[in-house]
Amino acid sequence: MARDKSPPTAAPIVTTVSVAEETLEATPARVLTFLRAVGTSDPIRFALSGVGYDDAEHARGWSLLHSAAGFTPPATAAPSPDGEVAAAIAALDASDERLHRIVDASLRHHYPALRDQLIADLKPGRGGESVLYVGTLLARLAKLSGPDGKAALERLARRSLTPTYRADLAALVKTAERFTTPTAAPATDSSQHDALRALRAWFEEWSELARGEVSRKDYLLRLGLARRKRSARPDARRPPASEPAKP
């Protein structure tokens, strides 16, 4: 019988962390202390390097901390639109209100149903909104068909909305659409809790390794893995200052 040689499947981190909720919530602060100590002390970093702590692991710790804290580091600024794109957006921004007025006035009393089909739910805007307006209007104009559709297009052509002008506008839309800004999905409570557990797993692993590799007490204090000794309490039986101590 052939033996299964597939590697064992690791348990998901979120299922292997078992600490009280209070301890879990306190983890980000402890990880911050740990990361600061490792990042600012060459001897600590050198000691941990013997068990595989490198730049990638340090960055992973910060990444997990950011996720658990709900913090998104400022990404590289989105590139500004180049000159050609900016010019296309500006041209469409300057055209959408005029286009709306031409279609509205030219078709309202002659082809009201087509007029509603073209612009009833559209409104000119600014910047990206104007790009969306013109692109949508052009797509709807291209779908006009039948005798009424042909007549409406001819009427609009006499008002300057010629096939050539529409093609020029379509080229501007294509250029303007090269500039887009992605948006991130908001984190859910469940994902934030999982991020905390992942951070806890990372901390448990490296704090345990650090206790074995770092021997100096002052370094362990910097890492947040040791406590300072409390100063001895004054003798409660010590006589008041006004009374001389007995020899």
Q: Residue 83: helix, strand or coil by DSSP?
A: helix
178-200: per-residue pLDDT in tens?
764 444 445 556 778 888 999 99
Q: What is the value of pTM for the model shown?
A: 0.48
Give phi and psi for 198, each to the nearest 5. -65, -40
What pLDDT, on a 0 to 100 scale, did the predictor assign at position 184?
45
What pLDDT, on a 0 to 100 scale, did the predictor assign at position 181?
45
Better pLDDT: 150 or 235: 150
Name the CA dihedral angle for 148, 154, 155, 158, rounded to a multiple of 10 degrees: 180
- What residue ranges do the domains of the chain occupy? 20-70+192-223, 83-176
Q: Residue 245: helix, strand or coil by DSSP?
A: coil
Per-residue pLDDT at 45 exceeds 50: yes
The residue ranges of DSSP E strands in the chain, in sequence order, are: none
Per-residue pLDDT at 99 exceeds 60: yes
User: What is the residue-wise DSSP string for 89-119?
Assistant: HHHHHTTHHHHHHHHHHHHTTT-HHHHHHHH
CB-side neighbour CA atoms (13 Å) of 231:
2
Residue 244 pLDDT level (bands cut at 50, 70, 90): very low
106-163: per-residue pLDDT in tens?
999 999 999 999 988 788 888 778 888 898 899 999 999 999 999 999 999 999 999 9
